[in-house]
Amino acid sequence: MQEPMPDSLSQAGLGTLASAVRRRLKHVVASRLAPYGLTSQQFWVLLVLLEGGPCSLHPLAQQVWMDDPTASRVVKAMVELGLLRTRPDPKHGRRILISLAPNSVPLAQTLKGLAQELKEGLVAGIGADQQAVMRLGLLAMITNLDDMLVGIPSSGPDRESVVAS
């Protein structure tokens, strides 16, 4: 059941506020990525590979909060655009390693600066103590939502992967 829209966000419930933050964050990220012709999913994939190096599909999907089929489609499109390269994993016969194409490294480094600006802008004016309280509250909400999924098949990420983040 959807929470009724409040007259102002200061009157909103936590679910509405969480949704509003997510929606606005997605809008800001998409707006900032428009000049690069990238989606937010492509943005995060580039950043994860820049910081962590080559990776196989499943760990990459987990790090960018995608399911494996979605990550596979995103990676395939990025390979076709020349942003990523794939090659067999020498340590595992059936696995591929995904890495940045050499020509996409400068773009990824530029995007790393953009990501830092976004992270700083998101918490601007919010002190460290308040951030810590918000983090605890949001983690508690995630735990509560995960608890509501217990026993429901195919209900998303397991709690350990969320809490470990």
Burial of 19 (0-12, 13-18, 19+ CB in 10 A): middle
Q: List the domain range (segments joined by +) for residue 102.
A: 13-122
Is residue 157's pLDDT more than 90? Answer: no
Amino acid symbol at 17: L
Domain count for the chain:
2
One domain, residues 157 and 97:
no
Q: For residue 116, how many other CB atoms are within 10 A of its CB?
A: 10
Is residue 84 situated within a structural domain?
yes
**pLDDT exceeding 70 applies to what percent of the chain?**
88
One domain, residues 69 and 46:
yes
One domain, residues 90 and 32:
yes
Among 122, 140, 157, the domain boundary falls at 122
Is residue 10's pLDDT more than 90? Answer: no
Is residue 5 situated within a structural domain?
no
- The number of C-alpha atoms within 13 Å of 52 and in the hemisphere containing its C-beta is 15
Three-state DSSP at 97 gives strand
pTM: 0.78
Directed axis angle between helix 14-33 and helix 128-149, to 10°? 110
Is residue 2 situated within a structural domain?
no
Is residue 98 situated within a structural domain?
yes
One domain, residues 104 and 48:
yes
Residue 93 banded pLDDT, cuts 50, 70, 90: confident
One domain, residues 102 and 160:
no
One domain, residues 42 and 90:
yes
Q: Please report, for the domain that includes residue 45, its CATH number.
A: 1.10.10.10
